[in-house]
Chains A and B, each alone.
Chain A
Amino acid sequence: MATLSDPPSEGFRLSQLLYDTRYRSMTIQVIAFMLIMAGLIWLANNTVQNLAALGKDFDFGFLTTRAGYDINQRLIEYSNDSTHGRAALVGILNTLLVAFVGCILATIFGLFAGVLRLSNNWIVSRLMGVYVEMFRNIPTLVWILIVFAIMTEAMPAPRDFRGEDAEAMMSLFGTVAITNRGVYIPSPVVGDGALILGLVFLASIIGIVFFRRFAKARQEATGEQLPVLWVSLGLLIVPSLVFYLILGRPITLQYPELTGFNFTGGVHLRNSFIALTLALALYTGAFIAENVRGGILAISKGQTEAAFSLGLQPGRTMQLVILPQALRVIIPPLISQYLNLTKNSSLALAVGYMDVRSTLGGITINQTGRELEGMLLLGLFYLITSLIISAAMNVYNNSVKLKER
């Protein structure tokens, strides 16, 4: 007759909370929760007391009051009679403009530098190595200031363009003037019939998409390859050009001209904008170059050899075998570099570019004294932008991820 020893029937002891794995995680979470709550309450309480002591309230009404300051660089209508909210919007658009142009330029720089750094040309690969290391190891702020100094100190003044034997010449066949007050480029002037031209252009893009689908289906069905690139290029250019001539040149360019002490006509790109965008693009481009190089190196040589042994030509090998795999490695860090560039655009402060930090987070805060609300909105803007970009990244990552079973 076997006697089963009862499990020790001791009651619940306090030390079990910490030493018994059944309860420990609960204990830790409860303690953590209480600490976090206590911290939050402490912060909120302090804030309420401080606001009361300063006689302020927490109110976003200032966004609808008159701003009273000018913004020299703007994409939408704005005057100093507009509201603070409108000023913030101008700033947001300026930030997004720098981020957008900067990302495009950075991708171009990075792609070239990354590919050329792998080139078997000794001098080119070294040169690209110097570029990458120089920009990766020196702060962005220093680069922004250097580019700004080059633009303002080393470029000719508008009056140097005057006269028969002028000291400075307009670049690109006399269409672009690079001065120490900024760069003047031709601006498009829209005339009658521009709408039709735009519709034609849109139609040709749709045509290209359909043609590519057709070519792909055709290749999968019969194996015959159509000259996709040439047909696409032709479709893109020819109809628009024909209509452009038929409609009597509806879109013309207005060139900048020197009148008085300054250039007029054309689009004036301010030094602050150029310095910020160019410096950020060069800086981020160096990082992208490393990503591109890493991505290409990550694809083993066997892939190329296997593609060759299947009889694919080098171009098709790159397009069908190497690039899809390399992009899977390159794209995620690329997106986070875009994110970095967007956040670094807040360095606009250094060159006086009116981005969202300078309007909403700078002048508006100084004028209204609403630090808490202003900084909160500013932080939220950056946070939402980041979250949107990283959400897009996750969608992309999931779509190209290796499907493992």
Chain B
Amino acid sequence: MADINASRAFVRKEMLPEKTPPVAEAGALKWLRENLFSSVLNTILTILSVFVIYWILSHVTGWVVFGIWDAGSLSECRELRDARYGEGVSVACWSVLTDRWDQLMFGFYPSELYWRPILALLVFFVAIAPVLFDSLPRKMLLFSLAAPFICYWLLWGGMIWGPLAVAAGFALPVLVSRFGAGLLGPLGTTVAAVILPVLYWLFAAGPIAGALGSVLPIGITFIESNDFGGFMLAFIIGITGILLSLPLGVLLALGRQSDLFIINKFCVFFIEVIRGVPLIVWLFTASILLNYFLPPGTNFDLMLRVIIMVTLFASAYIAEVVRGGLAALPRGQYEGADSLGLDYAQSMRLIILPQALKISIPGIVNTFIGLFKDTTLVVFIGLLDPIGLSNAIRATTDWNGIYWELFIFIGLCFFVCCYSMSKYSQYLERKLRRDHR
């Protein structure tokens, strides 16, 4: 055996240790070369971007970081700045935020009642949680149904009977269908279930609430809509608009896809007219023109008008998004639903809408983000949203001439809200993806 081995020139018995890769092909250097300096053009772009970033940071960082947080007015801010950093150094004056924080958040809402909007926000979060994340117990949805009335009562206050009386109207169709079926027959029940609540809200709810209020005056201080402002206002208009515009938009989309001539044409007309005209024109219509269209002497809340307009506006956009989703479904889904013997409502509810809405999620969320951003436009008709308040703050002698701090703060708040909305929609898309492709 030893001979055989000896006759061979060389046999390696053990593995060589691994060599380290060439310096340019490993670690940070490789990453740099591939991602930043892969070609002449890329190198130029990289240098340009680094320069841009450096230029911006060098101008902004000091201004932001050394900002002054403890002054009571802009002139005081400038004195503090001169004392701390020397004459003429440009630093931010963040104290406008600490000084006017309450106003930016709540407008002119009475300060001893700030717990109410905060509590309403908490109620909203608890109510929206089971809708957003389906790992939570389904029983919580019952609370979600009650939440709008609770939030309304907390925000505006007044007698508890008003919201209760309105909420009671939703119980009427249930009662009618349970107890009236034998008495009225199927046709009568359906008609009654639609008409009774409408009549109740129009004629009975007000007097009932008034009567109960005079017997049992349970309530909290009533706050005028004029006192609402700041981000609270933006949130109220945005959230209400979002919640109401989705169902309305879906109905409009179904109407536009429907075979019924009159309903189809009405929906097309409505959607096109609303989408063709900018929101700001609609808001002016709401503020100066609506009085012409209502019975003489009616005068209702500007904020309510704005919410209605914003809702109608967003619902037209959502209708178009949902229509895209409906059109994208293969014809076979509609035919499959028909061949199962489902009627229109069932096939829409069980087969078509779940799929169409899933496809339209990104578009719907984009519309919501647009709606929330558009709440800033109410400043033009005199509501005190964050931008309106920033104008009001700038008009006071203390803070005359302050721009950037307020704009940056407002922009940042909107960014956080809108960005988290778009992140949630991406999460939802991933969760609902069934990968048929």
Chain A interfacial positions (CB closer than 8 Å to B): 14-15, 18-19, 25, 28-29, 32-33, 36, 43, 46-47, 49-51, 53, 116, 119-124, 127, 133-134, 136-142, 145-146, 149, 153, 343-344, 346-347, 349-350, 357, 361, 365, 371-372, 375, 378-379, 382-383, 385-387
Contact between chains at B278 and A141 (CB < 8 Å): no
Given A141-B379, A142-B407, list of 13 further CB < 8 A pairs? A46-B292, A119-B45, A120-B38, A121-B35, A121-B38, A121-B49, A124-B46, A346-B278, A346-B280, A357-B278, A361-B284, A371-B292, A379-B277
Contact between chains at A349 and B380 (CB < 8 Å): yes
Known contacts A36-B266, A141-B379, A361-B281; is A372 also within 8 Å of B289 by CB? yes
Residues in chain B near residue A382, CB distance under 8 A: 276-278, 281
Interface-lining segment among B15-23, B77-85, B205-213, B254-262:
B254-262
Specify the chain B residue showing the minimal Cβ separation from A125: B35
Contact between chains at A123 and B292 (CB < 8 Å): no
From B190, B280, B419, B422, contact of A349 by CB (8 A): B280
Residues in chain A near residue B380, CB distance under 8 A: 349-350
Q: How many A-B residue pairs have CB under 8 A?
A: 156
Contact between chains at A15 and B187 (CB < 8 Å): yes
Chain B 239-267, CB-CB to A under 8 Å as 1, else 0, gives 00000000000000000000111110010
From B277, B288, B422, contact of A371 by CB (8 A): B288
Q: How far does the Cβ of B238 sit from chain A's closest Cβ, in whole Å?
A: 11
Contact between chains at A383 and B273 (CB < 8 Å): yes
Contact between chains at B186 and A15 (CB < 8 Å): yes
Contact between chains at B277 and A383 (CB < 8 Å): yes
Contact between chains at B403 and A379 (CB < 8 Å): no
Contact between chains at B263 and A28 (CB < 8 Å): yes
Specify the chain B residue showing the minimal Cβ separation from A133: B419
* The 8 A-B residue pairs with the shortest CB-CB distance in the complex, in nearest-first order: A386-B276, A343-B278, A137-B418, A383-B276, A122-B35, A139-B373, A15-B187, A346-B278
A interface majority secondary structure: helix
Q: How far does the Cβ of A303 sit from chain B's closest Cβ, in whole Å?
A: 17
Residues in chain A near residue B34, CB distance under 8 A: 120
From A46, A120, A142, A357, contact of B296 by CB (8 A): A46
Q: Does B382 contact A (CB under 8 A)?
A: no
Contact between chains at B293 and A46 (CB < 8 Å): yes
Contact between chains at B407 and A47 (CB < 8 Å): no
Contact between chains at A142 and B36 (CB < 8 Å): no
Contact between chains at A387 and B259 (CB < 8 Å): no
Q: How far does the Cβ of B247 sit from chain A's closest Cβ, in whole Å?
A: 18
Residues in chain A near residue B36, CB distance under 8 A: 121-123
Complex CA–CA separation, A122 to B49 (angstroms): 10
Chain B 381-414, CB-CB to A under 8 Å as 1, else 0, gives 0000001000000000000000110010011001
Complex CA–CA separation, A124 to B407 (angstroms): 26
Complex CA–CA separation, A354 to B124 (angstroms): 42
Known contacts A47-B292, A121-B45, A372-B289; is A33 also within 8 Å of B262 by CB? yes
Q: How far does the Cβ of B28 sit from chain A's closest Cβ, in whole Å?
A: 12
Chain B 97-108, CB-CB to A under 8 Å as 1, else 0, gives 000000000000
Q: Does B272 contact A (CB under 8 A)?
A: yes
Q: Does B11 contact A (CB under 8 A)?
A: no
Residue from the set B284, B369, B387 with the largest chain A CB neighbour count within 10 Å? B284
Complex CA–CA separation, A220 to B38 (angstroms): 38
From B261, B280, B407, contact of A146 by CB (8 A): B407
22 inter-chain pairs at a CB distance below 8 angstroms, sorted by A residue, are A14-B187, A18-B190, A29-B262, A36-B262, A43-B293, A46-B293, A47-B292, A50-B293, A51-B292, A120-B34, A121-B42, A124-B45, A127-B53, A137-B414, A138-B411, A139-B414, A347-B280, A349-B380, A357-B280, A375-B284, A382-B277, A383-B277
Q: How far does the Cβ of A69 sit from chain B's closest Cβ, in whole Å?
A: 19
Q: Does B185 contact A (CB under 8 A)?
A: yes
Interface of chain B residues 157 through 185 with chain A (CB within 8 A):
185
Q: Does B52 contact A (CB under 8 A)?
A: yes
Known contacts A32-B263, A121-B42, A137-B422; is A378 also within 8 Å of B387 by CB? no
Chain B interfacial positions (CB closer than 8 Å to A): 34-36, 38, 42, 45-46, 49-50, 52-53, 185-187, 190, 259-263, 266, 272-273, 275-281, 284-285, 288-289, 291-296, 369, 373-374, 376-377, 379-380, 387, 403-404, 407, 410-411, 414-415, 418-419, 422
Contact between chains at A25 and B292 (CB < 8 Å): no
Contact between chains at A371 and B289 (CB < 8 Å): yes
Residues in chain B near residue A378, CB distance under 8 A: 281
Q: How far does the Cβ of B198 sit from chain A's closest Cβ, in whole Å?
A: 12
Complex CA–CA separation, A371 to B414 (angstroms): 33
Q: How far does the Cβ of B321 sit from chain A's closest Cβ, in whole Å?
A: 11
Complex CA–CA separation, A139 to B385 (angstroms): 13
Residues in chain B near residue A18, CB distance under 8 A: 187, 190
Known contacts A127-B52, A383-B277, A387-B276; is A137 also within 8 Å of B369 by CB? yes
Residues in chain A near residue B419, CB distance under 8 A: 133, 137
Contact between chains at A138 and B190 (CB < 8 Å): no
From A49, A127, A387, contact of B272 by CB (8 A): A387
From B49, B259, B377, contact of A25 by CB (8 A): B259
Complex CA–CA separation, A122 to B52 (angstroms): 15
Residues in chain A near residue B279, CB distance under 8 A: 343
Q: How far does the Cβ of B302 sit from chain A's closest Cβ, in whole Å?
A: 16
Residues in chain B near residue A137, CB distance under 8 A: 369, 373, 414-415, 418-419, 422
Complex CA–CA separation, A25 to B344 (angstroms): 11
Complex CA–CA separation, A145 to B373 (angstroms): 14
Q: How far does the Cβ of B377 sit from chain A's closest Cβ, in whole Å?
A: 6
Contact between chains at A50 and B296 (CB < 8 Å): yes
Residue from the set A28, A124, A139, A371 with the largest chain B CB neighbour count within 10 Å? A139
Residue from the set A51, A133, A137 with the largest chain B CB neighbour count within 10 Å? A137
Contact between chains at B263 and A29 (CB < 8 Å): yes
Residues in chain A near residue B285, CB distance under 8 A: 375, 379
Residue from the set A51, A378, A379 with the largest chain B CB neighbour count within 10 Å? A379
Specify the chain A residue showing the minimal Cβ separation from B274: A383
Residues in chain A near residue B403, CB distance under 8 A: 149, 153
Contact between chains at B373 and A138 (CB < 8 Å): yes
Complex CA–CA separation, A49 to B259 (angstroms): 37
Residues in chain A near residue B42, CB distance under 8 A: 119-121, 124
Complex CA–CA separation, A17 to B195 (angstroms): 17
Residues in chain B near residue A349, CB distance under 8 A: 280, 380
Complex CA–CA separation, A51 to B292 (angstroms): 7
Complex CA–CA separation, A119 to B407 (angstroms): 32
Known contacts A18-B190, A361-B284, A382-B276; is A29 also within 8 Å of B261 by CB? yes
